[in-house]
Amino acid sequence: MSWKDTYNTKLTTLSDVVKKIKSGDKIWAGGYLSVPVLALKELDKTALNLDNAELYAGLLTYPYEFLKPEYVGHLTYRSLFMGPLEKKAQNGGNAEIITYHLSNVKEVLDRIDFDVMIVETTPPDENGYMSMGACGGVGNRIVLDRNINTVIAIINENQPFVGNKENLLHIDDVHFIAEGHHPIAEAKPAAPSEVEIQIAKLILPMIKDGSTIQIGIGGLSNTIGLGLKNHKNLGIHTEMFTESMMELCKAGAVTGAAKNYQPHKIVTAFAAGSQELLDFMDHNDQIKIDNVGIVNNPNEIAKNDNLVSINTCIMIDLTGQVAAEGIGHKQISGTGGQVDFIRATRMSKGGLSIITLKSTYKGKDGIDSTIKFELPPGTPVTTLRNDVQIIVTEYGVADLRGLSTVQRAKALINIAHPDFRDELRNAAIAINLYK
């Protein structure tokens, strides 16, 4: 039987395929752009008929009905990474967050006895292989290797075909197929603010030709990307491939020639950006999507010399404790891979970790400092003070490596917004943290 015959034998409709999900099932639905949007919309219609089913995914891009509180106990949603929709639904809705370092994703998923896997893929190639698209590395391969009872592929012709073996799924390895074509959600970069432009200006001189870089998404990362266009032989090893990295590739700044680990390859687990980015990834042999547990393994990342990791945070205290995922008891995002890459830079020859933040934010009582005497009670510490290296605001650079706690406090106060420096200094003096 040819793969085309197999395809037609396994082909069913979206409404029929979600009927394979039963009460008590634990379902894996991928993350971000690999989440089967149309299939989950169909599941919305029947989810209240289920009892004690559990859905695991992350960073949803559509406001499904099952995020409402009445679905708790029918189809409980547990998210492996919090996006805006999960953030909204966690407070009185149907969303729970699992916090973990992305390097530990296998440990997390191995503790869950999945019954069903349902993810988006491309149409099959001439050999019957489907690509798991732009975000196939978020955990799909780990779940597939468990030989679970029901594997469902939702075909979307708009997914980019990224064809390394870790991101492929053969027609013989799925039990059911349905077609659900829809446009892929775009995450176009925001225009950088003046503050972000100033922060980028402070960071760019720290990045040398031949460095392997990891940067995030948003106005700041886009500004850094544009600023690195004249660099040479940059490499990319990053959990998330973004618009700014694509621009560097198109400018010829990225060759990967200086990488020690997987040279010439752009190693990533998932992507976020515009349609132009998805088109760039399609059948691009330079890009390798792998399981995020491998991509974010500090021991693997650190094989690259001159690794530069650039991340953002929400706030930091005067000893260097970094809060990047929540304030108080309010979860804002996931833990992600910040710590994975920071620890990798410690082991990389010539490695460097940079954490950025704007000096102020708008709180409920007006403008406040992001550099705090102490973090608000209940705030999760994402990066320990002993792991922190360089902190950058628009007011300067604080290199905390090798500093005493008193020296750290002084360095951080010096890059705080001027309106808050006296307040921070007086609080530090009161506990002998400033002399």
Distance CA(99)–CA(110), nearest Å, equals 15
Contact 373, 340 (CB under 8 A): no
B/e letters for 386-396, b = 16+ CB within 10 Å, e = fewer, are ebbbbbbbbbe
For residues 165 and 294, is the Cβ–Cβ distance under 8 A?
no
- Say what the pLDDT of residue 189 is: 80
- Reference 242, options 263, 257, 221, 227; nearest CA is 221
Give me the pLDDT at residue 163, please: 92
The amino acid present at 168, given as its one-letter code, is L
With vertex at residue 275, the alpha carbon angle to CA 204 and CA 220, rounded to the nearest 5 degrees, is 20
Q: Which domains occur in the chain, in start order?
A: 3-179 (3.40.1080.10), 194-430 (3.40.1080.20)
Dihedral sign computed on CA atoms, order 210, 215, 217, 223: negative
pLDDT of residue 341: 98
Q: Which two tokens stand for residue 7?
A: 């395809």
Q: Which residues of the chain carry a pLDDT beneath 50?
A: none
Predicted local distance difference test score (pLDDT) of residue 218: 78
pLDDT of residue 369: 98
CA 400 vs CA 66, 77, 355, 403, 405: distances in Å: 45, 40, 11, 6, 9
Q: Is 54 a catalytic residue?
A: no
The full 3-state SS of the chain, as one line of letters, equals CCHHHHHHHHEECHHHHHHHCCCCCEEEEEEHHHCCHHHHHHHHCCHHHCCCEEEEEECCCCCCHHHCHHHCCCEEEEECCCCHHHHHHCCCCCCEECCCCHHHHHHHHHCCCCCEEEEEECCCCCCCEEECHHHHHHCHHHHHCCCCCEEEEEECCCCCCCCCHHHEEEHHHCCEEEECCCCCCCCCCCCCCHHHHHHHHHHHHHCCCCCEEEECCCHHHHHHHHHCCCCCCEEEECCEEEHHHHHHHHCCCECCCCCCCCCCCEEECEEECCHHHHHHHCCCCCEEECCHHHHCCHHHHCCCCCEEEEEECCEEECCCCEECCEECCEECCCCCCHHHHHHHHHHCCCCEEEEECCCEEEECCEEEECEECCCCCCCCCCECCCCCCEEEECCEEEECCCCCHHHHHHHHHHCCCHHHHHHHHHHHHHCCCCC
pLDDT at 216: 80
Residue of 42, 120, 196, 239 with catalytic role: 239
What is the CB-side half-sphere exposure of residue 393 using CA atoms within 13 A?
21
Q: How far is CA 66 from CA 26, 77, 171, 413, in A?
A: 15, 8, 30, 46
What's the CA dihedral at 71, 73, 74, 76 to 10 degrees? 70
Two structure tokens written together for 109? 């998923």
Contact partners, residue 4, CB within 8 Å, separation at least 6? none
Instruction: Give the β-pairing of 287-289 and 266-268.
Output: parallel
Please enumerate in sequence order all residues whose Cβ is within 8 A of that of 399, keeping only pairs 6 or more positions apart, or say none: 389, 390, 411
Over residues 79-88, the pLDDT tens digits come to: 999 999 999 9
